[in-house]
Amino acid sequence: MTEPAHQAEPGRVIGIAGVAFTSFNCIVGVGIFGLPGLVAGVLGPAAILAYGTCLLLLALVALCLAEAGSRVPHAGGLYAYAAAAFGPVVGGVTGALALFASSIGSAAALARFFIDTLAGFIPAAGSPVGVVVVLLALYGSLAIANILGTRGGGRLAIVFGLLKFTPLALLIIIGAFAVQPHNLVWTSIPPVAKVGEATLLLFFAFMGIESGLCVSGETRNPARTIPRAIALSLATVAALYIGLQTVTQGVLGPALAMSTAPLADTAGVALGPWGAQLLGVLTLLSAGGYLAADMLSSPRIAFALARAGQLPQVVGRIHPRLGTPVVAIGLYSASVVLVALSGTFQQIAVLAVSGTLVTYLICCLGVLRLRALGVEGDGPPFVAPGGWVAPIGAAAMIVWLFTTLATRELVATLAFVVVVGAVYAARHAMRRPVVLIK
C-alpha cells in the first residue's frame, strides 16, 4: 500500500549535499580530535581492524536508515519511520528519545564546549555574562538562518561541513609526508575481545548519521536522495577517520596512545608551532558545524510530533511566507540555550547514548514492518539487499552493544521509555472514538 498523505509540509528544497553534510556534521563532532589516541590505546597500530569491523556493522544500520528514509518521506526522521511502522505510541517514544534524550542534551553540551574553546581565544567569552551573550548570539543566528529558509539552513550545513573537512583532509595529506613507516608495523594480532572493545568505542563516534534524515519532509525526491546522501556521508566519514588514524599513528607512533590531543600533536609535528593554533580554530568550526547541522535537523522532530498531535499543535506551525517550521525552530533554540545555561545537560547526556541505541533498534526492526505493510513514499523505495539480513543483523549488533552499557544508563533509559510510553498510550486511548453498542 502507499502511505496516506499527511498534512501539508514545508517545500522540498534540500538535495543530496544538504542531507549528506547535515549527517557529516553531526557525526564528525569534537570527538574526532581525541579519537585516534583512544583507539590506539586499545589496539595500537592494529587500530585499523576496529575501523573495518565498525564500518561493516554500521553499514547494516545505514542500509536500514536508507530504506526507511526512502519509504517514509516525511519530517521527523526516526520518529516518522517508527510511527509509520508501529503506530503513534512507539513513534512517540522514539520521537521523545530522539528529541529530549539525544538532540537537546548533545547540542547543549556541544554549545558549552564551543564556548569553552572560544574562551581560549577570547577569555571574556568564558565569563558568566559572556556565556549568555555567546549562547544568545550563536543560537539567535542559527535560528534566524533556518527560519528564513530551509535552503539557508542546508547551505549553512554545507559551508560548515566543507570548512571542517578541508583542514582535516589537508592534515592527512601533509601529515603523510611525516609518517614513519615503522610506526605502522603490527607487533601482534590483537585478541577478538580487544577488537570488540575498540569497535564499540568507534561505533559511538560514528553515531549521528540519522540526523540528516530529520529533513526528509523537505528533501527533493527522497527515495533517491536519502540512500545516496547516507552512502556519501558514511563513505566520507570512513575515509576521513581511517586517514586520520593512519597519519596520527604513523607520525606519533607509541606516543599516540598517551596523547590527549592527537590531531593537535600531529599538526605540531607536521606543520610546526602554528599547527596547534590551527587545530584550535578547527575545533571551533567542528563544534559550530555540529550545531548548525543539528539546528537544521532536530527541530523537525518536534515539528513532526506536533503534526501528529503528540506535542501542542502550535509547534507544528509553518510560516506562511517562508515555508519553515518557525515555532519548532524557535522552541528548540530556546530549549538548548536554557539547558546549556542551567548545566543540566550532564544529567540529560546519561540518556543520549542508550537512547540513540533504542531509536536505532526500533528503526531497524521497523524496516521489516514497513516492507510487510507495503509502505512507499513518492516513488519506488530503495530496498536493502539481502532481504532480512540488514535489519536482523543490525538489531543483533545493537542488542550486543546494549550489553556493554552501564546499569544506570540501561535503567534510566528503560524508565524513560516506560513513562513516555505510558503517557502516549493513555493519550492515544483517550483520543480513540468510543463506539456505542445498542
Average pLDDT over residues 360-379: 87
Sequence-distant (≥ 6) Cβ neighbours of residue 400 within 8 angstroms = none
Structure confidence at residue 368 (pLDDT): 94
User: pLDDT (tens digit, 9 = 90+) per residue, 137-149?
Assistant: 988 888 888 787 6
Provide mean pLDDT across the span 197-210: 74
Cell numbers placing 345: 545537560
Which residues contact residue 231 at a Cβ distance below 8 angstroms, ignoring those fewer than 6 apart? 62, 66
C-alpha to C-alpha distance for 35 and 198, rounded to whole angstroms: 10
Please tell me the pTM assigned to this model: 0.71
- Residue 369, pLDDT score: 93
What is residue 433's predicted lDDT score, i.e. its pLDDT?
Answer: 47
Mean pLDDT, the chain, rounded, equals 78
pLDDT in the model for residue 14: 66
Q: How far is CA 143 from CA 96, 153, 209, 251, in A?
A: 21, 9, 22, 41
CA distances from 223 to 60, 67, 75, 233, 283 (A): 18, 8, 14, 16, 34
pLDDT value of position 136: 92
pLDDT, residue 13, reads 54
For residue 347, what pLDDT band results from cuts at 50, 70 and 90?
low
d(CA 219, CA 24): 16
Cell 533556518 belongs to residue: 146
pLDDT of residue 344 exceeding 50, the answer is no
